[in-house]
Chains A and B, each alone.
Chain A
């Protein structure tokens, strides 16, 4: 996306006398659009990196027996895939949109703290290096590769692990600092930078989604930082947080991890829930249904998300009252979620719909995320969870929430805002092709995994019994189709950035509402230096 905004850099305002060009522009920028572009580019690159890793895994799982790699390497791939996808693809993509769009949607001149904003971004590449460098170091005989404990880093496996765990710990620290900085910036921007007349309840839902995301990040990321710090001291400084001999408890790590880990799911999803209603509204040519109900549901889900964490480890054995509490509280998340689903569908209902690519993604997203949500509801049941837990059923479930609910939502956003950000239209034909390829291949990859899980295939195994062979083969083939389809996305983005295709109008979508559509496409380098007044 490097040239996307260079065409729009003429409007240098009062204090921007000598903006550096070339690489230095990106290293030193304080502009929210530049930083947003960097976040989005980083997310796309890491999405491809993480995807390539998992294709290695799927290739190994194509048939029984060990074909391509040793189990040690397999374990590294699955863990780093998850960390990369969550922390380096999904979260930066959402943050990138926040950087690009929040100032435009709120009528702000920029993000509130531009230099911190830039630091927030530039912490990500070092974090990604820390995470993946051990792969390379192992080739030179330093250490035994990347973190091989899965992304959950459960002690004591992670206490036993090699140098990769240390790198992962510090990677998590840097990612954590980055997230906290990003959250601070977003909270301040939302509270302090809105245009006159833009009350909180006039904000786009995207801002609401991000506000609650930011609160969740502030409350939970430091807890993860604390947990991995304890892990570090257990590994190298002789503490006994996570072993029974010293009076510690391995389950303590799981509590701390999932106190962060469960809200993390909503951290990934809330920004998407924020902009999907606006996409639905734009292509239904009809206002968002139940705006306030959606805001209250966001809050309800945000609050519930920090009190349900232990449903991720029912099988460790807990007292019955604890099991029941975590089961029922988890089930109650479905209530506000039902309100959201209702509002999304009601937004479409009796609209005048057309199905351009963003709308296709948004509609597909509702259906597929629905599957993720409903399987989540059955997972809450403690007794049946003994079967689902750590089986492929769970793998399929969270890919329905995080790939369909997260990544496909982000793709809807990409197609929705790409004309605004670059000033050019993508190819509608290729966009639609991308959607159908993604949706079909995604289902072909993960529906078999539900059945694999029910039949008893544990997750995170490099080799499996013969009865799982057929479904794994289908899943692997589909995964490669899914992976290759993403090249269409890359092509679409690159051609928009390079200015191929039609020029985009200020508002390329007939029904899109919001301040960002009042600006030219692409918007000037500094927008809203004079704040608009919202009535």
Chain B
């Protein structure tokens, strides 16, 4: 009776698990490769895994045979040998050693060698150079040559905070979506240069088979050649602080034509944005644009309500810095003033002048001075920011 009940319990548990798995989009292996490196890596991985599993199950089989047969309760009398004694036994003892020597340095070692050489060959035949800069907690992309040369933008997590806090249903690409993906042409060898502004990050897209650290002050490189158009998603892979789980990488691979079209459009967009610095903005426009900029860039640390996470991330609500003057009576920027902090950063606070344009900075400063209970009432024009560059 007990046996039957147990069997039913086990079966229902198994079926329950099965039903969970049946609708899940889980996977048992590397995702579909999209680059030559990823294809190679997948092959190497599969081969090694099969070898490892064969070794494992053969050894396990021998052990299980022994466990079932050489037992005291079966009356098996223990042998007394303590080591190999005859030549035949010595050979048997050396066999696993020799086998592993073969596996390590021939069966696994030779393909591994070729993969390494291929992976590190970043420069030969490269069609374009993309510079990726990691920072807490976003990626900046810059096209260093080719048709899109000079285009530079920041790519932020696009998942709303409400989804993370379980206040809203999670979208399909939860945590793997950005406001501005990096666009790359297919079938071009892209040399990716990596660096960082603060701590070490790792730029990783599993389908590319590529992961390389972005190290502050150093340049590291890798390469990708995407074979199929599509959207490829990855994440930062080196612990980089509290936002480590929230700085995805999204790459859109498109045809050469579409890439050019995108580059033209992007260039026009950037031009419009910087032209915006020359006109005079209304306070309302500044505040509403500033709110967007704030939520995208600043809320990670200072929080949506401006209360911060002291002591690491100070509150903006009621802050002395924000509720103080920006320019002195000669019109010079005051050191450690609100705008100085935003432009040049301090400690964990990055220097935003490298990441945001004049309109963004003027808007976000204006927004911060007139929100979270701060009532400075003044505003900052993009032209004033431009003048400080």
Could you tell me which A residues sit within 8 Å of B by CB distance?
A: 64-67, 70-72, 75, 143-144, 148-150, 154, 156-157, 160, 162, 243-245, 249-251, 284-293, 313, 315-317, 320, 323-324, 327-328, 331-332, 334-335, 338-339, 341-342, 345, 348-355, 363, 366-367, 370-371, 374-375, 377-378, 381-384, 386-387, 389-391, 451, 454-456, 458, 460-467, 469-471, 473-474, 511
CB-CB nearest 5 A-B residue pairs: A244-B217, A461-B245, A383-B115, A456-B206, A317-B220
Which of B26, B79, B116, B175 makes the CB contact (< 8 A) with A382? Answer: B116
Please tell me if the beta carbons of B174 and A381 are within 8 angstroms of each other in the complex. Answer: no
Name the distance in Å between A65's Cβ and chain B's nearest Cβ.
Answer: 4
CA distance A460 to B237 in the complex (A): 8
Question: How far apart are B55's CB and chain A's nearest CB, in angstroms?
Answer: 6
Q: A354-B71, A460-B244, A470-B20 are in contact. Are A293 and B116 (CB under 8 A)?
A: no
Q: A328 and B105: CB pair below 8 A?
A: yes
Asked if B223 is at the interface (CB within 8 A of a chain A CB), the reply is no
A12 to chain B, nearest CB (A): 41
A72 to B243, CA, bound (A): 8
Say yes or no: B52 contacts A389, CB within 8 Å. no
B residues near A387, Cβ cutoff 8 Å: 30, 41, 45, 206, 209, 211
- Nearest-Cβ distance from residue A180 to partner chain B, whole angstroms: 29
Residue among A244, A386, A454 with the highest chain B CB neighbour number at 10 A: A386
Pair count A-B, CB < 8 A: 308
Among listed B194-202, B256-264, B377-385, interface-contacting one? B194-202
Residues in chain A near residue B83, CB distance under 8 A? 289-293
Given B70, B174, B348, which contacts A348 in the complex, CB threshold below 8 Å? B70
Give Cα A250–Cα B20 distance, bound, in whole angstroms: 44
- Contact of B63 with A467 in the complex, beta carbons under 8 Å: no
Contact A363:B105 (CB < 8 A) given known A286-B78, A378-B49, A465-B173: no
Do B198 and A160 have beta carbons less than 8 Å apart? yes
State whether A454 and B27 are in contact (beta carbons under 8 Å apart), knowing that A65-B170, A342-B93, A354-B73 are contacts in the complex: yes
Question: Nearest chain B CB to A370's CB is how many angstroms away?
Answer: 6
CB distance from A242 to the nearest CB of B (A): 9
Known contacts A75-B242, A334-B100, A463-B175; A458/B93 CB under 8 A: no
CA distance A144 to B66 in the complex (A): 55
Q: How many residues of B sit at the interface, in one of the four size bands?
A: 35 or more
Question: Which positions in B face A, CB cutoff 8 Å?
Answer: 17, 20-21, 24-31, 37, 40-41, 44-45, 48-49, 52, 55-56, 59-60, 62-63, 66-67, 70-73, 76-84, 93, 96-97, 100-101, 104-105, 108-109, 112-113, 115-120, 163-166, 170, 172-176, 198-200, 202, 204, 206, 209-213, 215-218, 220-222, 233-246, 309, 311-312, 347-348
A292 to B82, CA, bound (A): 10
**Contact flag A460-B213 (CB < 8 Å), given A71-B244, A335-B101, A367-B60:** no
Distance A471 CA – B21 CA, assembled complex (angstroms): 9
Q: Are B309 and A383 interface neighbours, CB within 8 A?
A: no
**Given A70, A327, A341, which contacts B309 in the complex, CB threshold below 8 Å?**
A70
5 contacts between A and B (CB under 8 A): A323-B120, A348-B67, A351-B78, A451-B28, A470-B20
In the complex, besides A350-B76, A467-B25, 14 extra interface pairs with C-beta distance below 8 angstroms are A65-B170, A156-B198, A245-B217, A249-B218, A313-B213, A320-B120, A350-B78, A350-B81, A352-B78, A367-B60, A377-B52, A384-B115, A464-B175, A470-B24
**By the criterion CB–CB under 8 Å, are A291 and B82 in contact?**
yes
| B245 A154 Cβ-Cβ under 8 A | no
Taking each of A332, A378, A391, A465, which has the highest tally of chain B beta carbons within 10 Å of its own beta carbon? A465
What chain B residues lie within 8 Å of A148 (beta carbons)?
A: 241-242
> B199 — which chain A residues lie within 8 A by C-beta?
154, 156-157, 160
B contact residues around A390 at 8 Å (CB): 202, 211, 237-238
* Closest residue of B by beta carbon distance from A333: B104
Beta-carbon nearest neighbor of A461 in chain B:
B245
Could you tell me if A458 and B120 are in contact, using CB atoms closer than 8 angstroms?
A: no
Do residues B200 and A156 form an inter-chain contact, with CB atoms below 8 A? yes
Contacts of B237 in A (CB 8 A): 315, 389-391, 458
Q: Which chain B residues lie closer than 8 Å to A467 at the CB level?
A: 24-27
**Closest A-chain residue to B30, C-beta based?**
A454
Q: Which of A324, A351, A363, A367 contacts B79, CB < 8 Å?
A: A351
In the assembled complex, the Cα of A176 lies from the Cα of B80 at a distance in Å of 43
Say which residue of A149, A251, A342, A463 sits within 8 Å of B246 (CB atoms): A463
